[in-house]
Amino acid sequence: MHEKPYRSIVKTISWRAVGTLDTIAISYFITGSLGMAASIGAIELVTKMILFYYHERAWNKISFGRVKIEDDYRI
């Protein structure tokens, strides 16, 4: 099965939204500063979306753990 690049982009954005809220909450807990927590969240939002996108695209090129649909595969 092949995934198109736009699927990776949508998955990237949705996952980063969850991850960034988590990072902001943890940062606020540690620093006690909402401004600092938001700054940390904003920076990691951008860097981790870029990293995830390329990570996802690299995994699409690897056949590890994939099964062809036409194969007669039974567990």
Cβ-in-10-Å burial (0-12, 13-18, 19+) of 4 comes to exposed
C-beta of residue 23 within 8 angstroms of C-beta of residue 44: yes
pLDDT over threshold 80, residue 71: no
Render pLDDT for 20-58 as a digit per residue (tens, 0 to 9).
999 999 999 999 999 999 999 999 988 988 888 898 889
pTM: 0.61
Q: How confident is the model at residue 1 (pLDDT cuts 50, 70, 90)?
A: low
In a domain, 65, yes or no: no
Which residues does 31 contact at the CB level (< 8 Å), separation at least 6?
37, 40
Residue 29 lies in a domain: yes
Q: How far is CA 63 from CA 9, 52, 66, 67, in A?
A: 20, 18, 6, 8
Q: Has residue 72 been placed in a domain?
A: no
Residue 38 sits in which domain range?
A: 5-58
Domains held by the chain: number: 1
What confidence category does residue 11 fall into, taking pLDDT thresholds of 50, 70 and 90? confident
In a domain, 32, yes or no: yes
